[in-house]
Amino acid sequence: MAGFHDVRFPAAVSFGATGGPEWRNEIVPLTSGLEQRNARWSQSRHHYDAGTGLRSLADLEEVMAFFEARRGSLHAFRFRDPFDHLSCKSGRKIAATDQSLGLGDGRNAGFQLVKAYGDYARPITRVESARVAIAGVEQREGLDFVVDMSTGRIIFQPGKIPSKVAKVTAGFSFDVPARFDTDRLTISMKSFNAGDIPSIPIIEVKA
């Protein structure tokens, strides 16, 4: 991804952020009174406001320095989604069987990390850690497989490629590739002390 800085937005601030996923659909009313719905996006796009995560002037100074280092919206970065950054449900520990990545065929060595939401599979990139299993048996990172932390791609080593119809699963923690959705921050020390939190819009970027 061009213009990506592999650094994480201040975690303490991101865990107080607000936001979530967005879909873009087209609703067409028909003369019969019915409607036709068309999906314009194949994947959701997440957006956040990190201003609600600021708790102190130290937080504010850290975010301002981070904003300056990214040159506003120019460079993307890692953002820890406070609501969705694990392969498992909140309160549980990551397991190598959390998410299904597909079935082996004896030839394919590469599998993309995904997280399922019903029948929607979200590709996962910017991985922090990953555990992988074949047919329920956990594999050894570095010996049996390697993971590209930037793309979320799992590659099995020669001799460890999943056999035909063997189920490949994984558990992981991840960040969202994101950028500032503004080139200007408007902050008042007086307003901040009075509880007026500035808006710091952040939006997910796609490769």
More confident residue, 81 or 194: 81
Per-residue pLDDT at 176: 98
Per-residue pLDDT at 58: 87
Buried b (16+ CB within 10 A) or exposed e, 104-120: beeeeeebbbbbeeeee
Buried b (16+ CB within 10 A) or exposed e, 80-89: bbbeebbbbe
Q: Which amino acid is at 63?
A: V
Q: Which amino acid is at 9?
A: F
- Of 166, 182, 32, the closest CA to residue 111 belongs to 166
From residue 22, alpha-carbon distances to 13, 18, 102, 114, 206 in Å are 21, 13, 26, 18, 13
Report the sign of the C-alpha dihedral through residues 39, 98, 150, 147, in that order: negative
Per-residue pLDDT at 96: 98
Q: pLDDT (tens digit, 9 = 90+) per residue, 144-165?
A: 999 999 999 999 999 999 999 9
Q: pLDDT (tens digit, 9 = 90+) per residue, 29-84?
A: 999 999 999 999 999 999 999 999 988 888 888 999 999 999 999 999 999 999 99
Is residue 1 very low, low, confident or very high in pLDDT (cuts 50, 70, 90)?
A: low
Is residue 187 very low, low, confident or very high in pLDDT (cuts 50, 70, 90)?
A: confident
So where are the chain's domains?
A: 4-82+177-204, 99-174
Exposed/middle/buried for 147, CB within 10 Å: 0-12, 13-18, 19+?
Answer: buried
Checking if the pLDDT of 188 tops 90, the result is: no
**Both tokens of residue 198?**
């500035």
Count CA atoms within 13 Å of residue 198 on its CB side. Answer: 21
Checking if the pLDDT of 195 tops 70, the result is: no
Percent residues over pLDDT 90 in the chain: 86
Percent residues over pLDDT 70 in the chain: 95
**Both tokens of residue 151?**
């793309």
Q: Supply the mean pLDDT for the chain.
A: 93
